[in-house]
Chains A and B, each alone.
Chain A
Amino acid sequence: NAGVTQTPKFQVLKTGQSMTLQCAQDMNHEYMSWYRQDPGMGLRLIHYSVGAGITDQGEVPNGYNVSRSTTEDFPLRLLSAAPSQTSVYFCASSFAPGQGNYGYTFGSGTRLTVV
């Protein structure tokens, strides 16, 4: 069981470049989310999905896009990277409430630096 797999682990981007952070889970979880973690700010929700084909915005969605074409994958796209997007990004997944253990499983994170 791999759990939640995030790639890449580290990335340096130049301002204005675009990239996709990959997230895959093999636990058949319906719910998937993307968070960013900055010093002193805690984890902030970017986008989330309650199932394939359904996504919604979280607290800080600007500058990011997501899609959910399969249950397993939930990629996060940075459209035009800005230094303010320098952060550690975490993907997380869980069952729906009432179905099994519905605590969230987190990936190991992607550390992104925008220069």
Chain B
Amino acid sequence: SQKIEQNSEALNIQEGKTATLTCNYTNYSPAYLQWYRQDPGRGPVFLLLIRENEKEKRKERLKVTFDTTLKQSLFHITASQPADSATYLCALDLLSGSARQLTFGSGTQLTVLP
């Protein structure tokens, strides 16, 4: 069956450390993989997109890797701050002809402790 798994429901780290979140998937062949941030009571906010032929993408303190052989993406936040505390969602971008479906994992809740 098809599955997207994100590591542990909650992750606590100390301010200034690097947070690493994992997204594993089975029986999918995504064209792209996306990461979103969601704060309580709000809609998800797009952070980064990485293509299947890209190994790594960076944006400021964020870094995403994508290994299509392992079927895994890692999402890193360096020099983490309490303001980074949120739920982070991994999403597989599935293309078939003109059809496009974005399928989400259940998210990892990150808390950065001051």
Residues in A lying within 8 Å of B, measured CB to CB: 4, 31, 33, 35, 40-45, 48, 50, 54, 56, 58-59, 90, 92, 96-97, 101-109
Known: A58-B101, A104-B36. 13 other contacts (CB 8 A): A33-B101, A35-B104, A43-B89, A43-B104, A45-B101, A45-B102, A45-B103, A48-B99, A97-B95, A104-B34, A104-B46, A106-B44, A107-B43
Tell me, yes or no, whether B78 is within 8 Å of chain A by CB.
no
For B86, what are the chain A residues with a Cβ–Cβ distance below 8 Å? none
Contact among B48, B49, B89 for A102, CB-based, below 8 A = B49
A-contacting residues, B73-114, CB 8 Å: 89, 93, 95, 98-107
For B95, what are the chain A residues with a Cβ–Cβ distance below 8 Å? 97
Given contacts A48-B100, A50-B99, A97-B31, contact A42 B105 (CB under 8 A): yes
Residues in B lying within 8 Å of A, measured CB to CB: 31-32, 34, 36, 41-49, 89, 93, 95, 98-107
For A105, what are the chain B residues with a Cβ–Cβ distance below 8 Å? 46
Determine the residue in chain A with the shortest Cβ distance to B97.
A50
A112 to chain B, nearest CB (A): 14
B20 to chain A, nearest CB (A): 20
For B93, what are the chain A residues with a Cβ–Cβ distance below 8 Å? 97
- Prevailing SS type, chain B contact patch: strand
Q: How far is the CA of A108 from the CA of B34 in the complex (A)?
A: 19
Indicate if the CB atoms of A103 and B105 lie closer than 8 Å. no
Indicate if the CB atoms of A108 and B42 lie closer than 8 Å. yes
For B102, what are the chain A residues with a Cβ–Cβ distance below 8 Å? 33, 45, 92, 104
Determine the residue in chain A with the shortest Cβ distance to B103.
A45
List 21 A–B pairs whose Cβ atoms lie within 8 Å, in order of A's numbering: A33-B101, A33-B102, A40-B106, A43-B104, A44-B104, A45-B103, A50-B99, A50-B100, A90-B43, A92-B43, A97-B32, A103-B46, A103-B47, A103-B48, A103-B49, A104-B34, A104-B36, A104-B46, A104-B102, A108-B42, A109-B42
For A50, what are the chain B residues with a Cβ–Cβ distance below 8 Å? 98-100
Indicate if the CB atoms of B34 and A42 lie closer than 8 Å. no
Q: How far is the CA of A95 from the CA of B34 in the complex (A)?
A: 14
A23 to chain B, nearest CB (A): 11
